[in-house]
Amino acid sequence: MKALIETIVRPLVDHPEAIVITEEENEYKIRYHLTVHENDVGKVIGKNGRIAKAIRTVVYAAGSDVNKKIYLDIM
């Protein structure tokens, strides 16, 4: 799942080397924390959060085979 998130985000940002994805997992949920360079935050979130919503939709759909709730936080 980390590779999927990175594949989606890498073309959007100007500083791809600053992408950091961490994962927290417990028995009920998986939470991914996406951190990008401070100048790229707006590009990842998009106007009115549209890009962030689209990224989350793809990640949630890809993780639908897992019986855990998946969250994606953009830092």
The boundaries of the domain holding residue 39 are 2-74
Domain total in the chain: 1
Phi, psi (rounded to 5 degrees) for 63: -95, 10
Q: Is 46 exposed, middle or buried (0-12, 13-18, 19+ CB in 10 A)?
A: middle
Which tens digit of pLDDT belongs to each residue from 23-59?
999 999 999 999 999 999 999 999 999 999 999 999 9
Band (66; pLDDT cuts 50, 70, 90): confident
- Region 58-69: mean pLDDT is 90
- Region 5-32: mean pLDDT is 96
64: domain CATH number?
A: 3.30.300.20
